[in-house]
Structure 1
Amino acid sequence: MTSEAAVASEAAAPNQEELTLVEALLAQVRGRADMPSMYTRAGDRWVAITWGQFGAGARRLAAFLIGEGIKAGDHVAIWANNRAEWHTADAAILMVRGCPVPVYQTLSADQAQYVLNHSESRVVFVENEALLARVLEQRDQLRHLRRVVVMEGVENPSPDGFVVPWQQALSAGDEHLERHSPEIDERIAQTEMDDVVTLIYTSGTTGPPKAVMLTHRNIAASADGLADLVEVGPNDRVISYLPLAHIAERMVSEFRSYRYGNPTWFLDGLPNLGARLREVRPTHFFGVPRVWEKMAAQVNKQIDASPAPQRSLARWAIRTGRKVSDRRESGETIPAGLERRHRLADRLVLSKLRALLGFDDVRILASGAAPIDPEVLRFFRSIGLEICEVYGQSENTGVTTLNRPGRSRIGTVGEVFPGNEVRIAEDGEILVRGGVVFPGYLHNREATEATLVDGWLMTGDVGEFDNDGYLRITDRKKDLIITAGGKNISPGNIEGGLSTHQLVGHAVAIGDKRPYMTALLTLDPDEAPAVASQRGWPTELEKLAKHPALHEELQRHIDAVNAKLSHVEQVKRFTVLPKDFSPDEELTPTLKVKRKVVAEKYADQIQELYSKPQD
């Protein structure tokens, strides 16, 4: 292993003329006016919005914002699910040289109030009446907000004009468009690469969220680095489905389309993801680990439900694919007989599984935002799909390293991203420097100075490089568990193993300042009732969580996980919680566990795990 600095082998030179994001967008509007920029779902069909229509709508909203007194550098918030109006509002804000403030859909009224006040947002675009109600609940506390624009469900403005329907905002823009057009053009021309292009509020797992400022230059560095690694262009197909308040989705489905001209399809609800993937057949797709785990479980579930002959054939094909992928992973030669069997397995089964998932024309699949179980990656490899694990954070536009298609290495987060430098500090912390690194946090000089030291981003993650330059994350510095005996333990390794059981929704390892390790487990709300029904157990999660047969099953699984762990890492006791974690409470919007929230909310259950002498 090495702790020396690593630099990406590819040059960091941009692939195109240096353009601000709004200039790149307008180049697509001019050059691809009649080509589709977005697709939205209307009933049982997709409806296209052309680049010309997109640009015209954004310009109308830009005139409205100027009419509202929005000045260059002002903050305007967007609180909505992924939809065409989200992109339109975002583009309008950029056209007036404003700064978009994306708000996670799952935030409570109090949490949203913090974001709107901290950012000093003067206008907020909200999706519907439900989100409008959360804003109105906090209206007296929103010191800077002067207008709310509602995308759907509101036809008339409020008597005081505080609430404005989307269509009225567009109409107001029409009325003022001729007068404000010169100023819109002037603001676009004055936009600089070092202007802040968006705020990204961190998940706030350890306190109030911090507002990451990202610039046009940061976005360009990230987009150009991706183009160095994989083919990108106007014929790509991308589905927008993860929160646009997260930098990963923003880069994958919005910003890259402005740079390269490809259309974006907006998902009409997460339950429809499988069907829409088969319809769109994306060329690029990014998922958080939970998405990949659910997909793998669904494939296995369908195979198990097949008639015996088809089930046996499918399992043979996947075993054959696994043998091939394992040999490739270890660098071994594939025997001719195995190669022939693999071609047959691919023709009969594996190619059909890829088509079933909608990935029969994909060029890159990526996973990020949290660690993924290596066995999930190996399952997908066995059916011919290489998922490339990516590592980054909001503070460096989401990319520090990534596994490149065709040479990814399971168990690592890949090689250094083009244009980046990465080094390992003496205490093991990963440091990164490059064009993707943010200039700082809004209104938080102290946090900025603690995070950016001599141009290096202090990631807070601990890792090491292997001899080939692949980075391996070993833990979060702040997540390390130090037991009462002084042993440092990585909870990620334990939790990853515990979460592999189909009944387990989430696993949280407990043991900081404690004599031994324990775990909190939740049940998967989709899989657990189905399995319980087959076995004659209670199907209600609250009753199932107490069922002795379930505890015996989970204990066997924990015993198997413990066999792969050191003695101090082994889980001595566990408890099953009566309901799964949710993004409104114990999870961040990207499904990371809020450890502090869990520790406080389930303090009694944790204490009970240590209240009796160890067996």
Structure 2
Amino acid sequence: MKVAAPQSTPAAGAHDHLIAALAANAAGHGKAIAMRERDRGIWQETNWQAYLEQVMAAAAGLESLGVAPEDKVLVVGDNRPALYFGMLGAITLRAVPSPAYPDFTPEQLLGQLQREGVRFAIAEDQEQVDKLVALREQYAGLEWIIYDDPRGLADHEPAGTIAFTELARRGRERLHAEPGLQAELQTRPRADDVAILLHSSGTTGAPKGIPLKHRHVLFAVRSAAQAGYFNPGETHMAYMPIAWVGDFIFSIAAALELRFSVNIPEKQETVQRDLREIAPTVYFTSPRAWSTMLTRVQVGIAESTPLKRWLYERFMPLAIEIERARLKGRQPGLGQRLLRALGELLVYGPIKDQLGLVRARHAYTAGEAIGEESFLFFRALGLPLRQFYGQTENSALCAAQGADTVKLHTVGKPFPGIEIKISDSGEILVRGGNVFDGYFDDLAATAEALQDGWLHTGDAGYLEDDGQLVVLGRVSEVVYTSARQRFIPTFIENQLKFSPYIKDICVLGDGREHLAALVAIDWEAVGHWAQEHGVAYTSFSDLSQQPGVYDLMAELFATVNARLPEGTRIRRFVNLHKEFDPDDGEVTRTRKLRRGVIAEHYADIIEAIYAGRDRIESVAQITYETGESGVLRRLLAIRDVPAAPKVNA
């Protein structure tokens, strides 16, 4: 079965690219605010004309350093205007920005430098510069490092480094000396140029490079806008990692095409405060972040005054009941509508204001399944939260729930000009102008992913009768128990991660007689639970092993088991003494499980589970941010899951 989009999107011309969109904004809306950055508590504003001037100065400066077409430019750090200006400056020169996560280890950075032959890097601060300078001993190809924050670097720069301010100054001098250069620079890019080189999560090996061209990302943005996903002039908060496709699509591609006002927090630790001040009109974050936000609200209410708790406990269940009925097609009666209006004044509005989402017209979640509790809660508050589906390979924007067709278990229908079908093996296939042309320097992976014009997403799913897509998990993760019971670990894991008490979970059972699980508790949520229930603890590992916490987890497992077929229920579990850590290679930077690494690191625990033991002393290797390693020892309990309670029909 194939789902065809009802409308098409115009094809891109040769000069249809991101720099042309930036230049058009400067020409038609030059004095409008394009970007804000909070610096030392004060919001610094950049209008579209100044934005273009910064990018042109960066381009001219980069070219004077030797940046040429198709050069790869590493970009590493948190969201900063200079990093965005530098990326677009490289794009102007037809070079290719290649972002990396700021918490990458030196070894991960080295791999990216070597695989892509990187000659230039743009770094946020001294921490990133120090990592890159040290890597020159193993990789001599890195010629220049441009840095933004001068603290610790000013007046004693390592050789081959230059401040972004100095780079821009040189660029402006060059633009002044060559009057026609700025106009000429703006004509260089082509729609078919690679605009960004992003990377897969690397769950099964080295990350694959994913080049997205101007025509790919502009098609995706225009298609989503045509579907009402977002509108011109949105206010957006740029806080997602610049190495993630979501940031490039929202903070650069959509921002340039639709004239978003992009707002950059002072630092990651101030995101919540800055979010409240900005109050964005469009807000996108992961299910994990929505769940964390819900936990923060619940903890805040529990610690508030008796009156506030009373109001919350009276009005919040009402709003959730109304929203649950709406999703089933039932509209609230007059009495409920009047109480809902009063609740907006007393409870819902103040909570949205505290979260910084009081103006949000578009709110989205993607990346994995969102918990029913979180989804219903935020929609009950009055946020138009919807799920969407996309991958880096299809420019992140592929399908989304319509405003009036929201279901708890679907991700919606494809955007205009994008087609989705399900293969005979149950894999989701996508075709459209948003789909990339192939992996970087990997013909074998490209041939596997792109067949007969269709992108093989690697996701398993199905289409409902109304054309809405349901995503079950990764095709590669479809496994079988020893009794040949088929199951998808991620599907079950997502059911359990709906609980705020579970941060990560790895479901076991491939080739085994039954399913089991390794649990990493949520430190904040379980810590608050322990405080409320008088459970004393001294550390994460101590808290995870408290009998009351095991009882809490066992109850969650039993509840989820009641919704699962008999052969796919969790029988035993262990609360781990540490979180899964990207520095230990157990999860990716976007917190996708690396199952092979987990199976290796926790082999003794897994064997103890299936041997029927009730405890084990585990010895875990851990890696610190400095790159040094250590050992963590802990006696862990292994618990059976009680029989699932009966579910009322």
Category of TM-score, reference length = shorter chain: over 0.9
Q: Deviations over 1:45-100 (max 9, x none)?
A: 21112222222222222112111222222221211110111111011111212111
Q: 1:15: how far off?
A: 11
For structure 2, the 5+ residue unaligned runs are: 615-639, 641-649
Distance, in Å, in 2 between the alignment partners of 1:600 and 1:346 is 51
Equivalent AA in structure 2 for residue 465 of structure 1: L
Distance, in Å, in 2 between the alignment partners of 1:53 and 1:414 is 39
Distance, in Å, in 2 between the alignment partners of 1:231 and 1:424 is 24
> Are positions 1:55 and 2:25 aligned together?
no
Q: Is the 8 A contact 2:232 2:260 kept in 1?
A: yes
Distance, in Å, in 2 between the alignment partners of 1:183 and 1:108 is 39
Equivalent residue in structure 2 for 1:443, among 435, 441, 444: 441
Match of 2:106 in 1: 109
Q: Which range is displaced more, 109-118 or 30-39?
A: 30-39
Distance, in Å, in 1 between the alignment partners of 2:449 and 2:181 is 37
Match of 1:591 in 2: 591
Q: Is the 8 A contact 1:15 1:227 kept in 2?
A: no
For structure 1, the 5+ residue unaligned runs are: none
Distance, in Å, in 1 between the alignment partners of 2:193 and 2:117 is 17
Residue 137 of structure 2 aligns to a residue in which SS?
A: helix
> Are positions 1:561 and 2:570 aligned together?
no
Match of 2:627 in 1: none
Residue 364 of structure 2 aligns to a residue in which SS?
A: strand
Distance, in Å, in 2 between the alignment partners of 1:605 and 1:613 is 10
Q: Deviations over 1:310-365 (max 9, x none)?
A: 32222221111122111211112433332333223223322222222222221110
> Are positions 1:125 and 2:119 aligned together?
no
Distance, in Å, in 1 between the alignment partners of 2:360 and 2:207 is 35
Q: Is the 8 A contact 1:530 1:539 kept in 2?
A: no
Q: Which range is displaced more, 37-46 or 437-446?
A: 37-46
Q: Is the 8 A contact 1:41 1:267 kept in 2?
A: yes
Equivalent AA in structure 2 for residue 10 of structure 1: Q
Match of 1:150 in 2: 147
Q: TM-score, normalised by structure 2?
A: 0.90
Q: 1:16: how far off?
A: 11
Distance 1:553 1:262, change over 3 A: closer
Q: Which range is displaced more, 125-134 or 172-181?
A: 172-181
Equivalent residue in structure 1 for 2:309, among 303, 308, 311: 311
Q: Which range is displaced more, 419-428 or 15-24?
A: 15-24
Match of 2:89 in 1: 92
Equivalent residue in structure 1 for 2:236, among 234, 238, 249: 238
Distance 1:255 1:384, change over 3 A: same
Distance 1:275 1:134, change over 3 A: same
Q: Is the 8 A contact 1:425 1:431 kept in 2?
A: yes
Distance, in Å, in 1 between the alignment partners of 2:340 and 2:602 is 49
Match of 2:510 in 1: 512
Q: 1:386: how far off?
A: 2.5
Equivalent residue in structure 1 for 2:415, among 411, 414, 417: 417
Distance, in Å, in 2 between the alignment partners of 1:230 and 1:17 is 26
Q: Which range is displaced more, 480-489 or 182-191?
A: 182-191
Match of 2:466 in 1: 468
Distance, in Å, in 2 between the alignment partners of 1:125 and 1:20 is 22
Residue 77 of structure 1 aligns to a residue in which SS?
A: strand
Q: Is the 8 A contact 2:229 2:362 kept in 1?
A: no
> Are positions 1:610 and 2:607 aligned together?
no
Q: Is the 8 A contact 2:372 2:498 kept in 1?
A: no
Match of 2:548 in 1: 549
Equivalent AA in structure 1 for residue 120 of structure 2: V
Match of 2:579 in 1: 580
Task: Note the 1:1-400 alignment, pairs <5 A.
Answer: 4-13=1-10, 19-152=16-149, 153=151, 154-156=153-155, 158=157, 161-178=159-176, 182=180, 185-230=183-228, 232=230, 235-400=233-398
Q: Which range is displaced more, 21-30 or 195-204?
A: 21-30
Distance, in Å, in 2 between the alignment partners of 1:261 and 1:340 is 38
Distance, in Å, in 2 between the alignment partners of 1:372 and 1:198 is 28
Distance, in Å, in 1 between the alignment partners of 2:605 and 2:123 is 39
Distance, in Å, in 2 between the alignment partners of 1:171 and 1:221 is 35
Q: Is the 8 A contact 1:63 1:181 kept in 2?
A: no
Residue 458 of structure 1 aligns to a residue in which SS?
A: strand
Q: 1:188: how far off?
A: 3.2
Q: Is the 8 A contact 1:202 1:212 kept in 2?
A: yes
Distance, in Å, in 2 between the alignment partners of 1:588 and 1:136 is 25
Q: Does 1 or 2 have the higher relative contact order (CA < 8 Å, sep 6+)?
A: 1
Distance, in Å, in 2 between the alignment partners of 1:520 and 1:151 is 41
Distance 1:17 1:341, change over 3 A: farther
Q: 1:420: how far off?
A: 0.4
Q: Is the 8 A contact 2:299 2:528 kept in 1?
A: no
Distance, in Å, in 1 between the alignment partners of 2:64 and 2:246 is 32
Q: TM-score, normalised by structure 1?
A: 0.94
Residue 46 of structure 2 aligns to a residue in which SS?
A: strand
Equivalent AA in structure 2 for residue 563 of structure 1: A
Match of 1:600 in 2: 600
Equivalent AA in structure 1 for residue 466 of structure 2: D
Residue 140 of structure 1 aligns to a residue in which SS?
A: coil
Q: Is the 8 A contact 1:377 1:386 kept in 2?
A: no
The size of the alignment, in residue pairs, is: 611
Q: 1:183: how far off?
A: 5.3
Distance, in Å, in 1 between the alignment partners of 2:182 and 2:510 is 55
Residue 526 of structure 1 aligns to a residue in which SS?
A: helix
Match of 2:636 in 1: none
Q: Which range is displaced more, 205-214 or 379-388?
A: 379-388
Distance 1:583 1:489, change over 3 A: same
Residue 187 of structure 2 aligns to a residue in which SS?
A: helix
Distance, in Å, in 2 between the alignment partners of 1:75 and 1:284 is 31
Residue 205 of structure 1 aligns to a residue in which SS?
A: coil
Distance 1:539 1:14, change over 3 A: farther
Q: 1:179: how far off?
A: 5.3
Q: Is the 8 A contact 1:97 1:187 kept in 2?
A: no
Q: 1:381: how far off?
A: 1.5
Q: Which range is displaced more, 76-85 or 334-343?
A: 334-343
Distance 1:480 1:269, change over 3 A: farther
Distance 1:39 1:372, change over 3 A: same
Distance, in Å, in 2 between the alignment partners of 1:199 and 1:180 is 31
RMSD: 2.2
Percent of counterpart pairs with the same letter? 27
Q: Is the 8 A contact 2:58 2:167 kept in 1?
A: yes
Q: Is the 8 A contact 2:370 2:498 kept in 1?
A: no
Residue 190 of structure 1 aligns to a residue in which SS?
A: coil
Q: 1:142: how far off?
A: 2.3
Q: Is the 8 A contact 1:499 1:507 kept in 2?
A: yes
Residue 554 of structure 1 aligns to a residue in which SS?
A: helix
Distance, in Å, in 2 between the alignment partners of 1:593 and 1:489 is 17
Residue 460 of structure 1 aligns to a residue in which SS?
A: strand
Distance, in Å, in 1 between the alignment partners of 2:455 and 2:222 is 20
Residue 40 of structure 1 aligns to a residue in which SS?
A: strand
